[in-house]
Amino acid sequence: MSQSNGLQCRVCEERGSSCLFAQHTKTRECENDDDICYSWFYRSGSDVGVQRTCLSVKSPEYNLIKGLIADVIKYRLNVELDSIRQAGTWKSERIISTSQSSHIKIENSKDDLLNFCANNYLGLANNREIITAAKQALDDYGSGLSSVRFICGTQTIHKQLEQRISKFHQREDAILYISCFDANAGIFETLLKEQDYIISDELNHASIIDGIRLCKAKRLRYKHKDMSDLELKLKESFNENNDNIIRLIATDGVFSMDGTIAPLPDIKCLADKYHALVFVDECHATGFFGRTGRGTEEYFNMIGTIDIINSTLGKALGGAAGGYTTGSKALIDLLRQRSRPYLFSNTLPPPIVASAIKAIDLIENNPSLPGRVAENASYFRTELQNLGFKILGDNHPICPVMLGDARLASRFADEMLKRGIYVIGFSYPVVPKDRARIRVQISAAHSKIDLQQCIQAFAEVGRQLEVIK
Ligand SMILES: Cc1ncc(COP(=O)(O)O)c(C=O)c1O
């Protein structure tokens, strides 16, 4: 292809190889959608360089380049899609035709399914009082704010929910996000600078990992729940120059894939020893874990001691969507000023805000709700272990039944579905390779009969697929 064809780029108005527009891009279309600015690397002997040209839509090279680009994309996508299929890690989505509940229907099937894979820990996702509150908020406040919070997106109910959340966790203030993924994306970059350290459990949720990627602090990772390794990493962060440094330990309260619980008392002890702050993601604890549902802190009888809590409204607290950070007033004030997912994304819709307020009402007024899910989890875990299954984790409603092989996990889930039990096989990249599992999620909404049906199906499929004797 010749370097200079004398055509003028319609964006930078330069001719031939001096086209400026192409400098920052490999290939871009010109503004009028006709011409294309194209740059490529060349090698001639030991001479390597970059050349650019602008091709007119009328030139034969134009179609060649267009075709090449389309082929590369098609080729790359297909190779990747095929490799996912071949690895047996393809994730299909079953389409639910009812509301979220312990009993659901899926499309093209008349039969009721028993649902054991939602994070609907308290069974509030289709609670009548929550639905009524959401409808009322729709009437009173509309469907949404068409705005971010600081421009014109803050209503009385947003402030009410933030107050209810901070009171629930016994903190000074709280800030809402459209999801906990966003809360995790916003916290580290806002709080930590280059000189700081973020020290993170290796099994933390993807959203914590991504949030950490966005910040400039030095990153250290400790082995899952390994306190000696955490101490080593804290020592590494502890040098002569300790002025004006934040060390932040980040952990899930409960780990979503393993059902394990972070040893918060030990973490807090080390944090105090090495002048570190502690961040805990409580998505799989808020509302149902601990005696009154205050989460992992309450489970360990240490409410109010963790510096920063992020959590979701999309699991136990009504199951709609939304997330939050709760902590000191200064921290929340700073997040309102600086946190990018808060500043640049729309307000939480009023019906969702009202659902979450009602969910907190229900939890505060029914202290037996969290106990119900703990009792169900304990029963299910014991029965499955007695059958010979290996279940990971502590006594938490996340019950990962370990199978190892991705295809086996997927086949196991299909066989369970034939018996009316909806569970999902988890495989790479959601969990490490060769650590595939069925993650059973227990809810307060499951009756004893529901649990027994699920246990019976596990026994049958486990024997059929020779996982148990
Ligand atoms: C531990 C953890 N953190 C964060 C999130 C993200 O929560 P959300 O759905 O509110 O974005 C999840 C969701 O699966 C989670 O399990």
Residue with tokens 């009812």: 98
3-state secondary structure of 229: helix
Joined together, the tokens standing for residue 451 give: 């649990």
Residue range 242-254: average pLDDT?
93
CA-wise closest residue to 458 among 377, 388, 379: 388
Q: What percent of the chain has pLDDT over 70?
A: 85
Cα(19) to centroid of ligand 1, in Å?
46
Predicted pLDDT at 88: 74
Q: Which CATH code is given to the segment(s) 88-116+368-464?
A: 3.90.1150.10
Dump the DSSP string for 100-165: SSSEE-BTT--S-EEE--S--TTS-TT-HHHHHHHHHHHHHH-S--SSBHHHH---HHHHHHHHHH
Question: Annotated catalytic residue: which of 102, 256, 345, 443?
Answer: 256
Please compute the mean of the pLDDT values over residues 71-77 and round it to a whole number: 74
pLDDT of res. 348: 98
Domain 128-365 = CATH 3.90.75.20: no
Q: Look up residue 455 and give its amino acid.
A: I
pLDDT in tens, 189-198: 999 999 999 9
Of the listed ranges 24-33, 78-87, 237-246, 327-336, the one predicted with least confidence: 24-33
pLDDT at 5 over 50: no
Instruction: Find the mean pLDDT for residues 302-327.
Output: 98
Closest CA to 459 of 416, 409, 398, 400: 416
pLDDT at 3 over 50: no
Q: Is 315 among the catalytic positions? A: yes
Domain boundaries along the sequence of the chain: 16-85, 88-116+368-464, 128-365
DSSP state of 420: T
CA-nearest residue, atom 12 of ligand 1 = 283
| Predicted confidence (pLDDT) per residue in 141-155, tens digit | 999 999 999 999 999
For ligand 1, the distance from its centroid to the CA atom of residue 107, given in whole angstroms, is 26
Out of 41-55, 111-125, 380-394, 421-435, which region has the weakest mean confidence (pLDDT)? 41-55
Task: Quote the ligand 1 centre to 180 CA distance (angstroms).
Answer: 5
Please work out whether the CB of residue 252 comes within 6 Å of at least one atom of ligand 1: yes
State pTM to two decimals. Answer: 0.86
Mean model confidence pLDDT for the chain: 90
Please report the pLDDT score of residue 20 as a whole number.
53
Mutate to test the pocket of ligand 1, among 117, 205, 396 (most ligand atoms within 8 A of CB): 205
Catalytic residue among 225, 268, 284, 396: 284
